[in-house]
Chain A
Amino acid sequence: MSRFTGLLKRTAARLDLPQPVKSHVLLEMAADLEDMFAAYQERGLDEEEAARRVEEKFDASDDALTELTRLHRSALRRGMDRFSEQVQTVWEKVVLVLILLFVLASVGGLLASPTFFSSASAFVWPGAIVGLVALGIFLAKTHQLFIKKDHGLRRLRRGPPSLLLLACAAIFNGVFGFFLGMLLSMHLMAVDQQRAGIHFMSWLLGSSATMILSMLVAIFAALFWFVLMNKVKRIELAKAAMLLEDTP
């Protein structure tokens, strides 16, 4: 509970920013207000006068807050945050989990078969490595947020954004492997026309397996990001709410 809760609440009401940016700005302001209050007290001002000076000094004008809002309107970030805000109700989460279970059930057996990796193109391995890295990040972050409960603001958002990058890398790997395989098989078909059908089928089989794995990695990396970002957002909202809670 902050001495400047009232001031922060008024500022929060005028600050038209998406979460978690709004929480970050408010937390920064709250820390500065408390530090400035302490600094004035160290200079010999009594509590009341120090608080009055701080409030006077803070005085965030409408122009300044509008400028702050304009600065933080990043289209990509806003889109990402809003996406994770979209799926909030229980039934939406259930539908999401059911879809993922269906995907897993339909390709799980295929992935587990011994012929899957041997028939896939060489691009299946970078895709698998990307998947393992994404899983590693997810497990490490899950341990930090859910088990260790290390909710330090400095480390809170570290990690999840790279999952989206890995999802993109997996898709890129699959698509690039698909077209490169097609090009190579076309060459082979042109040179060895008698076995053109075999070359074509070999490419189709290898590329399909690679694409399946790449898409699966991308879906799960995005799901990991979604789960972690929802948790991160809840933590940030709780911190901001604690800051703005009513004084008795």
Chain B
Amino acid sequence: MTDFELETQNLARSSHEALILAILADGPRHGYQLALEIEERSRGFFRFNHGTLYPILHKLEKDGMIRGVWSDEGQRRKRKSYSLTAKGRRRHADQVAAWGTFFERFVEIVKEVKP
């Protein structure tokens, strides 16, 4: 039983969150890696601007879904990488189920052939 509900009124935002959590489920990533990987894995279908990415990442971090950690790699190489928290993993699982249902219902309707 889950209290997660897909925000169908704001699909773009919901899909961005789902994509980020899905990529992070494979392991920690930096912001730029997330943007590039989403673009590559979707074969260019989803294109992320960094401007869009940061508010989503920071919101997920504030909500405790992901954890941002700074790493020191020399004086001018401070980088922040993100990883999924336990809460984020649960949210990811919920989203997989919710998006599955969403597409199932959606296809049912759009594919319906009227006599």
Question: A residues near B, CB below 8 A?
Answer: 25, 27-29, 31-33, 35-36, 39, 57-61, 64-65, 67-68, 71-72, 152-154, 239
With an 8 Å Cβ cutoff, the count of chain B residues facing the other chain is: 23
Docked CA distance A28–B54 (Å):
9
Which B20-42 residues have C-beta < 8 A from chain A?
Answer: 30-33, 35-36
Query: In the complex, which residues of chain B have a beta carbon less than 8 angstroms from the beta carbon of A39?
Result: 32, 36
The 20 sampled A-B contact pairs (Cβ below 8 Å) are A25-B58, A28-B31, A28-B79, A31-B79, A32-B50, A32-B79, A35-B32, A36-B50, A58-B49, A58-B51, A59-B49, A60-B49, A64-B52, A64-B54, A67-B59, A68-B54, A154-B70, A154-B71, A154-B72, A239-B78
Verify if B86 is at the interface (C-beta below 8 Å from A). Answer: no
Docked CA distance A71–B72 (Å):
25
Docked CA distance A29–B36 (Å):
15
- Give chain B nearest CB distance to A151 CB in angstroms: 9
A68 touches B78 (CB 8 A): no
Docked CA distance A153–B76 (Å):
11
A25 touches B32 (CB 8 A): no
- Give chain A nearest CB distance to B58 CB in angstroms: 5
Verify if B62 is at the interface (C-beta below 8 Å from A). Answer: yes
Verify if B77 is at the interface (C-beta below 8 Å from A). Answer: yes
Please name the residue on chain B nearest to A35 by beta carbon. B32
Given the interface contacts A153-B70, A154-B71, does A71 sit within 8 Å of B31 by beta carbon?
no
B72 touches A153 (CB 8 A): yes
Query: In the complex, which residues of chain A have a beta carbon less than 8 angstroms from the beta carbon of B50?
Result: 29, 32-33, 36, 57-60
Query: In the complex, which residues of chain A have a beta carbon less than 8 angstroms from the beta carbon of B36?
Result: 36, 39
Query: In the complex, which residues of chain A have a beta carbon less than 8 angstroms from the beta carbon of B80?
Result: 27-28, 31
Interface of A is mostly: helix
Question: B residues near A, CB below 8 A?
Answer: 30-33, 35-36, 49-52, 54-55, 58-59, 62, 69-72, 77-80
> Besides A29-B50, A60-B51, 17 other CB < 8 A contacts?
A28-B31, A28-B79, A28-B80, A31-B78, A31-B80, A33-B50, A35-B30, A36-B36, A39-B36, A57-B35, A64-B51, A64-B52, A64-B54, A64-B55, A68-B55, A152-B72, A154-B69
Please name the residue on chain A nearest to B35 by beta carbon. A57
- Give chain A nearest CB distance to B75 CB in angstroms: 9
Given the interface contacts A58-B49, A152-B72, A154-B71, does A31 sit within 8 Å of B59 by beta carbon?
no
A29 touches B54 (CB 8 A): yes
- Give chain B nearest CB distance to A188 CB in angstroms: 49
